[in-house]
Structure 1
Amino acid sequence: MNLRDATWTDVRDCETDLAVVPVGSTEQHGPHAPLGTDVIAAEAVADAGIARVNREVVRAPAIPVGVAEEHRQFPGTMWVSDETFRRYVREAVESLAYHGFDRVVLVNGHGGNVDALREVGGRVTRDGEAYAVPFTWFEAVGEHSAEMGHGGPLETALLRHCEPELVREDRMDEAQAGRADGWGEWVSHTNLAYDSAAFSENGVVGDPDAGDERRGKELLERAGDALARLLEAVAERDVSRPERR
């Protein structure tokens, strides 16, 4: 059940305690990919995972703005502080739990959200308000995960499969010309750069041309399968809090 399309009476009559919240970001993804890339990916993977389970799942609207100040030099990028983001996501989860949807998977499409979402999941779970866990799609696609950049092969591939009309194919040469090969500037296992503009001229990291539509289809299948397994595990898990030892 998608809350966007449901009525309150539909929700009242829904017999499940399992919900999915897509979480993304509104930020630059180079000259060829839209600002909403992370939201598009999170929603696509959420829907793919839900379609693969034989149980009812509530699908909440996506959270479109995340922890993305590292892209602030690029126009159109929006961001909130870690504190604001954590509080917003937590209260969104709490509102679902109030209606009985107290097993929640946060389907994430943005690397900058990862740490904050893990903290939120731990906090609401330890406080007994809900059981919440984050799932970041590009960490669940096998060997492809090693090539995750920014506006690079994985995100471009997924866009070409899910919403190809949003990829500016005529700007691919521009995306290639100003891209970085890897994320950050590393010395002694330390990243010296805080913002993407410090090491990428146009915000792209990785080779977008290495992400064709066929690869995007495979990525969505892998991420959807992984999310489905997680949804089943969350649905069946004993979520009572462990006793003090």
Structure 2
Amino acid sequence: MDLTTATWTDVRDLETDLAVVPVGSTEQHGPHAPLGTDVLTAEAVADAGVERVDREVVRAPAISVGIAEEHRQFPGTMWVSEDTFRDYVGEAVASLAHHGFDRIVLVNGHGGNVDALREIGGRLTRDGDAYVVPFTWFESVGDHTADMGHGGPLETALLRHCEPDSIREDRIDDARAGAADGWGEWTSHVNMAYDAAEFTENGVVGDPAEGDAERGEELFEIASDALARLLEAVAERDVSRPEDR
């Protein structure tokens, strides 16, 4: 059930404790992909994963602004601090738990959110508010994960499959021309760059031309199946905390 379109009486009558919360970002993804890429992909995978499980799942509204200050030189990018993000997501999730939806999967589409979401899940779970785990779609796609860039092949492919009208196909050549080969500037296993503009001219990392719709369909299927398996595992898990040794 989608909370955006449900009434409070619809929600009252549910018999489930399982929910998903899509989490993304509003940030540059090069000249060819929309600022909402991370939200669109997170929502698409979240909805597909929910459809693949044979149980009721609450689908919360997406959280669309995340930890993205590293893209601040590119117009349209929005961000909040890590502290604000952790507090906001944590309190939003706690409000779901208040209504009995206390097994929650955070379906994430933005790399900058990963560490904070893990912290949020650990804190809420250890405090007994809810059992919360993060799921980042591009970490679940097997060998494809190695090609994850930014506005590169994986995100472009998934959008071409799920939201084909969102890709500016006439700008793909420009996206390729200004792209970086990899994320950051590395010396002695240290990334010396803090902002994306230090190493990519147009915000792109990786080759978006390598992300066609067929690859996007494969990514979509793998990620959605992985999320469905996780939802089943969360639903069945003994979430009581271990006793002190």
Alignment TM-score, normalising by the size of structure 2: 1.00
Aligned residues: 245
Aligned-residue offset at 1:9: 0.4
1:219-238 equivalences under 5 Å are 219-238=219-238
Counterparts of 1:98 and 1:203 in 2: how far apart (Å)? Answer: 40
C-alpha separation between the residues in 1 aligned to 2:35 and 2:187? 30
Q: How many Å separate the matches in 2 of 1:219 and 1:181? A: 21
1:184-225 deviations in whole A, cap 9, x for unaligned? 001111000011000000000000000000110110100000
Output the amino acid matched with 1:235.
A
Residue in structure 1 matched with residue 111 of structure 2 by the alignment: 111
The residue that corresponds to 2:14 in the other structure is 14
The equivalent residue for 1:66 is 66
- Cα separation, 1, equivalents of 2:121 and 2:133: 5
Distance in 2 between the 1:112 and 1:134 partners? 13
Structure 1: gaps (5+ residues): none
Partner of residue 87, structure 2: 87
The AA in structure 1 aligned to 2:176 is: Q
Q: Distance in 2 between matches of 1:205 and 1:227?
A: 26
Structure 1 ranges of 4+ moved more than 3 A: none
Distance 1:43 1:70 in 2: 23
What do residues 157-188 of structure 1 show as CA deviations (whole Å, max 9, x unaligned)? 01100111110001111101100000000111
Cα RMSD, aligned residues only: 0.4
Aligned to 2:242: 242
2:77 paired residue number: 77
Q: Which residue number in structure 2 is paired with residue 164 of structure 1?
A: 164
How far, CA to CA, are the matches of 2:141 and 2:48 in structure 1? 14
Cα shift at 1:227: 0.3
Tell me the distance in 2 between the aligned counterparts of 1:173 and 1:133.
Answer: 38
CA distance in 2, matches of 1:58, 1:218: 26
Aligned to 1:150, what secondary structure does the other structure show? coil
Within 5 Å, give how 1:95-174 maps onto structure 2: 95-174=95-174
Amino acid paired to 1:128: G
TM-score by length of 1: 1.00
1:59-100 Cα offsets, whole Å, 9 max, x none, are 000000000000000000000000000000000110000000
Which string of whole-angstrom CA distances, capped at 9 and with x for unpartnered residues, describes residues 29-79 of structure 1?
000000000000000000111011000000000000000000000000000
The 2-side partners of 1:93 and 1:170 are apart by: 40
**C-alpha distance in 2, partners of 1:78/1:146?**
27
- Per-residue Cα deviation, 1:85-116 (whole angstroms, up to 9, x for no partner): 00000001100000000000000000000000
Distance 1:163 1:237 in 2: 34
Residue 44 of structure 1 pairs with residue 32 of structure 2: no
In the aligned structure 2, how far is the partner of 1:46 from the partner of 1:143? 21
Q: Identity of paired residues, percent?
A: 80
Task: Name the structure 2 match of 1:177.
Answer: 177
Question: By how many angstroms is 1:144 displaced?
Answer: 0.3
The residue type paired with residue 20 of structure 1 is: V
Deviation at 1:19, TM superposition (A): 0.2
How far apart, in 2, do the equivalents of 1:221 and 1:101 lie? 26
